[in-house]
Amino acid sequence: MPDLQSITVPASRETVRRVTIGLVDLMGAKANSILKDIGGSVTDAQINALRTAIGNASNAGVYFDSKEVIQRQAPKDSRAFSDPHSAVSDMGVLVFKHPNSQVSDVYLDVPAIDVSKIDNAGGLKDDDSEIQAIITTALPILNDSNPFTGDFYFSHGYYSDRKGTGKKYPGDIPTLVEPRGTPET
């Protein structure tokens, strides 16, 4: 429903950049080195030099870097509706699949999904014009990013109450590590 304000652009609107460099240690644990709010004139060569310098100073191996352009505004300048399912934990989840079994399914979350987009069985109404708009704009992005011929298709959508009472998100969960000194049961 509400996008970034376009009628009156608030004074808090800004475009910033963030550089993230990912490292992995010999046990497989991952951590990121992040520079936030960097200027728009930062070049790829500068990022590459930073990645090399961090990699040289670390015992962990660099496995990715990214440069993001972020458009944001203060939360107080955004609009949200007070309707059923207006909490960001009320998720509409759109599932995109690929016929090649080597390609993972893609789950696209829509936080605070409008209740009118959910059918009685807990699925998303894929014939709804706003759900269709998400599907038709996501598919070209997925297919242009896919090295396997670009055959992603929309499979289905569902409602997920991330408060613990609805359908569970089928993503990976972290390994539970008990606090140090706690006896194992």
**pLDDT of 61 over the 90 cut:** no
- The amino acid at residue 27 is M
Greatest alpha-carbon span in the chain = 59
pLDDT digits (tens, 9 = 90+) for 92-143: 899 999 988 878 888 988 887 888 888 999 999 999 999 999 999 999 888 8
Q: For domain 14-76, give the CATH number.
A: 3.10.20
**pLDDT of 21 over the 90 cut:** no
Among the residues of 42-163, which ranges form H helices?
44-57, 129-144
Its sign, for the CA torsion 154, 155, 158, 163, is negative
Output the pLDDT for position 4.
53
Output the pLDDT for position 42.
72
Look at the pTM and tell me if it is higher than 0.85: no
Domain positions in the chain: 14-76, 90-161
